[in-house]
Chain A
Amino acid sequence: MMQDRYADPQTTNWPDLVNPMEYTNPTTVDESVYDDDVVRMFFGATVIWGVVGMLVGVTIALQLAWWPANLGLPWTTFGRLRPLHTNAVIFAFAGNICFTGIYYSMQRLLKTRMWSDRLSRIHFWGWQAIIVAAAITLPLGLTQSKEYAELIWPIDIAIVVIWVIFAVNFFGTLATRKVKHIYVAIWFYISFVITIAVLHVVNSLAIPATLFRSYPVYSGMTDALVQWWYGHNAVGFFLTTPFLGLMYYFLPRAAERPVYSYRLSIVHFWSLVFLYIWTGPHHLLYSGLPDWAQTLGVVFSVMLLAPSWGGMLNGLLTLRGAWHRVRTDPVLKFFVVAVSFYGMSTFEGPMMAIRAVNSLAHFTNWVIGHVHSGALGWVGMMTFGTLYWLVPRLWKRELVYPNMATTHFWLATIGIVLYTVSMWAAGLIEGLMWRAVNERGLLASPAFMDIADRLDPFYGLRLLGGLLYFIGAVMMAWNIYRTVAASRAGAPTPSAATAAS
C-alpha cells in the first residue's frame, strides 16, 4: 500500500514538452517524501462542508421565497442561518480547498515535505473545531454582528492561534525549500497567509465583557471603515488570491501547458495586492465617510480591473493549444468557466464601485448576484475542478462515475446563470422602483412591500438555480465517496469498466 500509493503514472508520465531536468534546480524528488495524508484530510473536509454550506444557502433562499420555511424557531430564522451560510461557504468550503491546494502544490513546487507534520495536523483539526464552534454559536444567536467576522471573541482567539500555527508551518516549509525560485502560486499563498492574519486581528479587536459578549474597540464611522477594509479584503485575500494561486498551479497541470506569461503574473500579482487593500470604501459610498476616502476607494476599485483581467487572461491563454481537450475533460471545463466568471465579476465590481452605479445597486439583490457570480462561478468552479483533478492523484483511482462529473458541470453552470440573472433583474427592479418619483416629485412606490412583492418570481428562480448547483455538489460528493471506497477496497482502475458507467 505505502509503496504503490505514490507510483502514479499520471504524475510521472508528462508529455515531451516538459523536462524537469531543465529547471535550474534539478532535484527530482520521489513522491513519497510528500505528506499527502493531510491533503486528503483537507480534501474530505472541503467536500463535506461544501455540501453543508450550500444546503444552508438553499435553505435561506427558500426562506426568502417562502417565509414559513423559517419554521418559527429562533435557531432556524433567516437572521441566524444567513451568517451560518456565509461562514460555512467562505471559511469551511473555500478555506479547506485553499489548504488542500496549498499543502498539495506547495510541497511539490518546493520539492520538500511540509516543515512539520504535527503542525499540519493541529492546523487541520483546529480549523475544523473552529468551524464546528461557528456552526453551534451562530444558530444560538451568539454573534459579534460584523459581517464575515460574526464569530464571538473566544473563537476569534482560536482562529489567531490556529492561523499562527499554519503560518509557522508554511514559512518553515518555505525556509527549508529545495528549489530556489518561489513560483508565483506561492506568492499568492503568502499574501493569503499574511493578509488574513492582519485583517482578522485588526477587525476583531474587542473588549470581552462575558464569555459570549464583547464590545468592539471601534465605534461609528471608524468601525464601519475598519469593517469594510476587512470585508473587502476578505473577498480579496480569502476568495481571490489563494484561488489565483490554485489557478496558477492546477490549471497548467490539468492543461499540461506552461503558464502563458510568467512575467504578466509577476506584474499582476503585485498590482493586485497593492490595489486591493484600498478598495474597502466602495462599500460605504454616500455614507458619513469623508468624501476623499470614498473617492480613493472608487479610483482604486476601477484600477483593480486591470490586474484582475491580467490574471483572467493569463489563465485562459494558458489553455492555448489545449482547447480541444476542454470538450472532453471535465476538469478543464470547470476551470474555463471559473476563470470566465472571475473575469465577469471583476468587471462588474469596478462598475458597481462607481458612485452613480452604486446608488442604483447598493442594498439591492444586484449585490447578491455579484457576490454569487464570484462565489459560485469563480470560487466554486475552481474548487470543483481542483477536487476532480486531485482524486486520481490522491487515491490512485479514476472516478467511478466519470460522466457524472460532466453532468455536475452542466448543472452547476446552469445553476449559476439562473442565480445571477435572476438577482440582477431583481436588483434592477428594486433599485429603479426605490428611486422612481411621480410628476409631483413624490415617491412613485412609497410602500416598501409593493416593491418587495415583485421579487417573488426572481426569488423562485434563484432557489431553482441554487438547488441545481447544490444537487451538482451532492453528486460530486457521492462520486468521490464511491471512488475513495473503491480505492480503499483495493479495486484497481479498470479503465474499461469506468468508461461504461
Chain B
Amino acid sequence: MNPLLREAAESISLGWLAGLVTAFFIVWFVAWTWWAFSPKNKEKFEEAARMPLSDGGDS
C-alpha cells in the first residue's frame, strides 16, 4: 500500500483525534444553525429571501 495511505490508516488508532475533530464540527454546526435561526437575524433573512424578486428595475 502507498506509504501515505498506510500512515493515515494507522493513525486512525488515534481515536481521541477523530473524536476531537467530530466534536469540533458538531459544535460548529450547532453554533452556525443557532446563528441562522436566531430571532435577531429573522428580519434580515426574510428580506434576503425576496432578493431574486427585486432585481427587475424600478417597478
Contacts and interface: CB of A to CB of B under 8 A. Distances in A.
Given A181-B51, A222-B5, A11 B57 contact: yes
Contact of A271 (B29, B37, B52): B29
A20 B58 contact: yes
Interface in A185-224: 185, 220-222
B50 A28 contact: no
A12 B49 contact: no
Nearest to B57: A12
Given A220-B2, A221-B1, A183 B48 contact: yes
A249 B56 CA distance: 13
Nearest to B42: A263
Given A20-B56, A28-B57, A267 B49 contact: no
Contact of B51 (A30, A109, A260, A264): A109
A248 B37 CA distance: 19
B36 interface: yes
Interface in B9-59: 9, 12, 25, 29, 32-33, 36-37, 41, 44-59
A14 B45 contact: no
Interface in A14-50: 14, 17-20, 22-24, 28-31
A242 B47 CA distance: 22
Nearest to A28: B58
A14 B9 contact: no
B58 A12 contact: yes
A164 B48 CA distance: 29
Contacts of A256: 53
A292 interface: yes
A220 B4 CA distance: 13
A270 B55 CA distance: 25
A144 to B, nearest CB: 20
A499 interface: no
Nearest to B55: A108
Chain B interface SS verdict (over half): helix
Contact of A31 (B5, B53, B56): B56
A267 B36 contact: yes
Interface residues of A, number: 51
A141 interface: no
Given A181-B48, A258-B49, A290-B5, A20 B55 contact: yes
B12 A252 contact: no
A183 B47 CA distance: 10
B5 A258 contact: no
A30 B57 contact: yes
A247 to B, nearest CB: 11
Contacts of A11: 55-57
Contact of A292 (B9, B52, B55): B9
A482 interface: no
A263 B36 contact: yes
A23 B52 contact: no
A262 interface: yes
Nearest to A260: B49
Contacts of A259: 48-50, 52
B29 A13 contact: no
A288 B57 CA distance: 58
B52 A185 contact: yes
Interface-central residue, A20, A31, A105, A184, by most chain B CB under 10 Å: A20
Interface string A293-310: 100000000000000000
A325 interface: no
A416 B47 CA distance: 37
Nearest to A249: B52
A133 interface: no
A454 interface: no
Task: Please name the 9 residue pairs, one residue from A and one from B, whose CB atoms are nearest each other, closest first.
Answer: A20-B54, A11-B56, A108-B55, A262-B49, A259-B49, A258-B49, A262-B45, A28-B58, A290-B9
Interface of B: 1-2, 4-5, 8-9, 12, 25, 29, 32-33, 36-37, 41, 44-59
